[in-house]
Every structure is written in structure tokens, then in C-alpha cells.
Amino acid sequence: MAPRKKTGTKPGPQLLERSALDRTALANERTYLAWTRTGLASLVGGLAVEKYLEGVIPLFGLRFIATSLLLFSSLSFLISAWRYRALHIDLNELNIKMLPLSVILIMSLFFTICAILALVGLWVIIGTTP
């Protein structure tokens, strides 16, 4: 590979500012996805604890752990939307392309409803079976 030729020009301040704003928008999306991933892992973990640790841990401890994980998952989904929205509003005025806020809110609401339904199922449906 041939060495790169130096052109002698530096990127202008507008290009540097634009790339910094793009990195900020991408960091906001990565943070949203990290919170969502944490919520999904907690949701699956809460359901797995209930299913696979039955008989190993007393019922009260089992329900406490599963309930805590499911509540934490719904909280993670809500926090993810809140954090994304807070920075999205600031960056929206700068005309940066990002995921639409409505998509983020709908996804987070859907995941939160799933976590709440899993919690209800844990206490109502599974709780009534011997």
C-alpha cells in the first residue's frame, strides 16, 4: 500500500462540529440500546428464575427474586426512553438524523407492557398452579 499523500488541508470547523454532533447522536442511540438490552436480560432472567429454580429456592425467595428482576426490567425500559428523549430534544433543534422519537417511545412502551404482563402472569397464572 502506498503512503498517503498529505494535501496540506485540515478539516474545517463546520466538519469537525458536524462529526462531533453525529458522534453524540450515535452515543445517545447506543445508550438507549444498552438500557433496553439490560431490561430484556432482566426480563428473561426473572422468568428463568421462576422456571428453573423451582424446588431449589423457597417459594418466597423465588418470587421475590423474579419480581425484583421483572420490576427492574420495566424500569430499565422506561429509563431508556426517558434518557433518549432528553438528549433527542436537544439534538433535534440541530437537524441531525436520528431514530424517530415515536419509534423509541413505542418500543419502550411495548417492552414495558411485556414486563408488566410477565409480572402479572407470575403472580396470577403461575401463582395459582400447585
**Is 117 part of any domain?**
yes
- Which stretch of DSSP H or E encloses residue 11? none
Beta bridge partners of 54: 57
pLDDT digits (tens, 9 = 90+) for 87-110: 877 776 666 777 888 999 999 999
**Is 1 part of any domain?**
no
**Is 114 part of any domain?**
yes
**Is 14 part of any domain?**
no
How many folded domains does the chain comprise? 1
**Is 6 part of any domain?**
no
**Is 88 part of any domain?**
yes
Nine-digit cell at 94? Answer: 440541530
pLDDT digits (tens, 9 = 90+) for 110-124: 999 999 999 999 888
Between 21 and 50, name the one with better pLDDT. 50
Distance of alpha carbon 70 from alpha carbon 39, whole angstroms: 8
Quote the pTM value: 0.78
**Is 13 part of any domain?**
no
Range of the domain at 64: 27-128
**Is 16 part of any domain?**
no
What is the 8-class DSSP label of residue 4?
Answer: P
**pLDDT at residue 119, as a whole number:** 93
Evaluate whether 66 touches 56 at the Cβ level (below 8 Å). no
pLDDT digits (tens, 9 = 90+) for 6-38: 665 666 666 666 677 777 778 888 999 999 999
